[in-house]
Amino acid sequence: MKLKREFYNRYTLDVAKDLLGKKLFHYINGEKLIGKIVEVEAYIGEIDKAAHCYNNKMTKRTKVMFGEPGYSYVYLIYGMYNCMNIVTEEKGQAAAVLIRGIEPIKGKNIMAYNRYNKPFKDLTKKQIINLANGPGKLSMAMSITKEINNNMDLCGNILWVENSHDDDKFEFEIITTKRINIDYAEEAVDFPWRFYIKDNIFVSRK
């Protein structure tokens, strides 16, 4: 079942942990690309020096983070890698969850061509593990881009998140740790706002 807006309209750290195990869908060119969310990071603009909207600073780029919960915030890093976030909490409270890693479920062949320009069956074990184990990698694999997918309603029919089906439910342990690659963020470096599924091979290594 597709997640409703109420799911996202909650405290960001709770949303982040609850996203683990859910399925991210992208309907594109008549195909559904699906990946299970295995790693996330939380960002809360009011107090978080790692957030683009720190101190509630609104810019053209971060405006979406102040809007309705359940919208996508997609931005570029290094001028080339797209990173997908989900806006959380009530309108006016700038916060989001970065999707850091997914386990490919459906559309693996398309994902393989997007990442490596070859079919999934020809991937090495290392390439399979690296298919979507990072925010830039998963966005490339799932054809998520700033140009098309930024500020997109995740309660719509193009990009959305669903609960897992009954046959895919399982117990897992959530690991809580510091976030990655935010050395500039002073005391926020130590915030334990990264969450991932223990022992899942699609969790990023850095």
Is 90 exceeded by the pLDDT of residue 12? yes
Query: How is residue 83 written in tokens?
Result: 């990173």
Per-residue pLDDT at 197: 96
> Which element (helix H / strand E) includes 159?
strand 159-162
Question: What is the C-alpha to C-alpha distance for residues 69 and 72, in angstroms, rounded to an integer?
Answer: 9
Average pLDDT over residues 15-42: 96
Question: What is the C-alpha to C-alpha distance for residues 42 and 51, in angstroms, rounded to an integer?
Answer: 9
Report whether 205 contacts 129 (CB < 8 A): no
Q: How far is CA 38 from CA 20, 59, 103, 160, 191, in A?
A: 5, 30, 7, 16, 19
Among candidate residues 67, 66, 64, 88, the one with its CA nearest the CA of residue 75: 64
**pLDDT tens, residue by residue, 104-144:** 999 999 999 999 999 999 999 999 999 999 999 999 999 99
For 182-200, letters b (16+ CB in 10 Å) and e give beebeebeebebbbbbeeb
Q: Where are the alpha helices (DSSP H) in 86-145?
A: 108-116, 125-129, 135-141
Per-residue pLDDT at 49: 80
Is 90 exceeded by the pLDDT of residue 52? no
Per-residue pLDDT at 170: 66
Report whether 39 contacts 100 (CB < 8 A): yes
> Which of 22-31, 47-56, 197-206 has the weakest average pLDDT?
47-56
Domain map of the chain by residue range? 5-197
Report whether 50 contacts 185 (CB < 8 A): yes
Instruction: Provide the 3-class DSSP secondary structure of residue 27.
Output: strand
Among candidate residues 164, 149, 116, the one with its CA nearest the CA of residue 28: 149
pLDDT confidence bin for 78, thresholds 50/70/90: confident
Strand partners, 77: 81
**pLDDT tens, residue by residue, 80-109:** 899 999 999 999 999 999 999 999 999 999
Query: How is residue 1 written in tokens?
Result: 């079942």
Instruction: Provide the 3-class DSSP secondary structure of residue 16.
Output: helix
Per-residue pLDDT at 45: 85
Per-residue pLDDT at 39: 97
Tell me the pTM: 0.94
Per-residue pLDDT at 166: 52
| CATH code of domain 5-197 | 3.10.300.10
Average pLDDT over the chain, rounded to whole?
Answer: 92
Running DSSP on this structure, what letter comes out for residue 168?
G
Per-residue pLDDT at 169: 55
Phi and psi at 22, nearest 5°, equal -75, 165
Is 90 exceeded by the pLDDT of residue 21? yes
Average pLDDT over residues 45-59: 82
Task: Give the dihedral of Cα atoms 132, 105, 69, 203; nearest 10 deg.
Answer: -40
